[in-house]
Amino acid sequence: MGRGDLTNAEWDRLESFLPRGGVRGGRWSDHRRVINGVLYRVRTGVQWRDLPERFGPWETVYKRHRRWSADGTWQMLLSKVQAAEDAAGRIDWDVSVDSTAVRAHQHAAGARKTPPAAIPQKGVHRRTNQVDPATETARPTGGGGQVGECLGRSRGGFTTKIHLAADGRCRPLAVLLTPGHYGDGPQLEPVLQQVSVPRIGVGRPRTRPDHVLADKAYTSRKNRHYLRRRGISHTIPERLDQRRHRRNRGSRGGRPAGFDRERYKKRNTVERAINRLKSFRAVATRYEKRAYTYLGTVTLAALIIWLRT
């Protein structure tokens, strides 16, 4: 077992959820070896062709990662681990939201401006984990061009922005990608809508945090109204211009927004979660042309954080 590979305990937590091949097209290569190959690439950021021989053919590792990014297998594994943690009461539902810009390598450029044709792939049955010919999943086509592939020009150059919701133990609960020039505030509602932790047994997934913490970029009235409508308490500081405008309007300006300074100190959890994600070199720098493949890379990094925290 090499440095950074799955340990026996981590493999035992994932093995039962992995799809089993052999229904059509023959046997798949050993899942553990292939996943370790993907982990090596995500951790080091090397080119796929430079993977060590102990992981098998690089094409097999790359295609497995691309397929599982497209059909949601990485997200399914992350949801299973989160569900187990929630059932054990090990999730702190004081959720912090923030974003980080990721520099895109020159190799990330060049995606087709028009969406490519969908490529059929073998679907995975969610209950049996078997490759099911009846559940074909097409490769995501994206929107085409830079914006459709979550690439944009910002102060940092050619970038992608990762919007993140993290629990109180610095673990990513939800991840959303946008082009680098998109603002943070409008993405609060979309990223919180991505929070969905399944229940073990009967019951709907948990989607509502106990409390939300965010910085001044998320202090719009629309965001506060959305949180109040969902019954989510929040700690978001008010910008100076908003405070001045409210005071100038007198009684028509409404009451000042509540702010708990001591509780706001806990917002550093999302900053620490971002640091953990960016310790994976293939997350800290984007090399993928397609947004869904890069999202799979980020999701796999989040999965490893959950397994090892």
Q: State the chain's mean pLDDT as an integer.
A: 87
| Secondary structure element (H or E) that encloses residue 48, with its range | none
Mean pLDDT of 175-185: 95
Mean pLDDT score, 286-302:
96
Q: How far apart are alpha carbons 37 and 60 in whole angstroms?
A: 10
Q: What is the pLDDT of residue 260?
A: 84
Lowest mean pLDDT among 10-24, 196-210, 266-280: 10-24
Specify the amino acid at residue 299.
T
List the structure tokens of 162: 């990762």
pLDDT of residue 4: 87
CB neighbour class for 178 (10 Å; exposed up to 12, middle 13-18, buried from 19):
buried
- Taking 80 as the threshold, does the pLDDT of residue 210 lie above it? yes
Q: What is the rounded distance in angstroms from the CA atom of residue 46 to the CA atom of residue 42?
A: 8
**Per-residue pLDDT tens over the stretch 56-110:** 999 999 999 999 999 999 999 999 999 999 999 999 999 999 999 999 999 998 8
Q: Helices (DSSP H) in 116-156: which residue ranges?
A: 145-148
Q: Which tens digits make up the pLDDT trace of 100-159?
A: 999 999 999 888 776 555 555 454 454 455 444 334 445 665 556 788 899 998 887 899
How would DSSP label each residue in 198-250? --SSSSPPB---SEEE--GGG--HHHHHHHHHTT-EEE-PPPHHHHHHHHHTG
What is the pTM for the complete model shown? Answer: 0.89
Three-class secondary structure of residue 105 per DSSP? coil
Alpha helix stretches (DSSP H) within the chain: 8-15, 31-44, 58-71, 73-87, 145-148, 188-193, 221-229, 240-248, 261-264, 268-278, 281-284, 291-307
Report the range of poorest mean pLDDT among 12-26, 136-150, 162-176.
Answer: 136-150
pLDDT the model gives residue 25: 56
